[in-house]
Chains A and B, each alone.
Chain A
């Protein structure tokens, strides 16, 4: 069939990963991860509504090694999605489309994610 003989563009894994494409798919992946992570938020709030015992149980889970790993991963995803989301909003406003600017803002997103994550956890652990 002629439809099957059409020339295809190279398959996705042929391309060398670039900052632009990697950050793009990461935005989607972190978005899905944050959405899954909201289960923990709902559990936390619902436990507070259920009473002191349930709340202590939830706090215990969040403070456990697994809970802290989940919370850390969730915070990284959240800060990344936040920073890159602001980058997307700038693009939606028609700003920052020059290729050097796209790369600069991309690196800024990665640095911003690292700084915000470290800042939040250092402040959190010092307060704790």
Chain B
């Protein structure tokens, strides 16, 4: 019998092994997405019917470009966390679960990178 407490328990990380980090990140990104999504929807509506030049002017400007990159980051972070929970709830085979979560996280990272780099390319 070991007299040492497991490190995870000392750090209050619990059965999920990562404490409240996942839960907290999900809420913080949700909070950030409330204004970002409203801004995005209003912007997209005002861009309806605009041509390529005016779209590039909008997306390539410092403020909307920065907001777009933040929106992309928060969206795919929030999506990765949410989809992970859905998979963990419904996929019960350990290997299958791990593979699905990794696949979803990789896809979110890739899509987020493509979207963010596309916006950056409009800014230079």
Contact = CB atoms under 8 A, between A and B. Distances in A.
Nearest to B58: A48
Contact of A128 (B37, B48, B118): B48
Given A52-B52, A55-B52, A56-B52, A28 B86 contact: yes
Chain A CB within 10 Å, residue with most, of B27, B45, B56, B75: B45
Given A78-B37, A128-B49, A35 B82 contact: yes
A79 B108 CA distance: 21
Q: Is the interface of A mostly helix, strand, loop or mixed?
A: helix
Given A38-B111, A55-B52, A92 B27 contact: yes
B122 interface: yes
B48 A49 contact: no
Interface string B81-105: 0110010000000000000000000
The B interface, classified by DSSP as helix, strand, loop or mixed, is helix
B67 interface: no
Interface stretch (A14-22, A81-89, A102-110): A81-89
Interface in B96-124: 108, 111, 114-115, 117-119, 121-122
Nearest to B68: A45
Contact of A89 (B30, B45, B79, B82): B30
Contacts of A41: 115
Interface of B: 27, 30-31, 33-34, 37-38, 41, 45-46, 48-49, 52, 55-56, 59, 68, 75-76, 79, 82-83, 86, 108, 111, 114-115, 117-119, 121-122
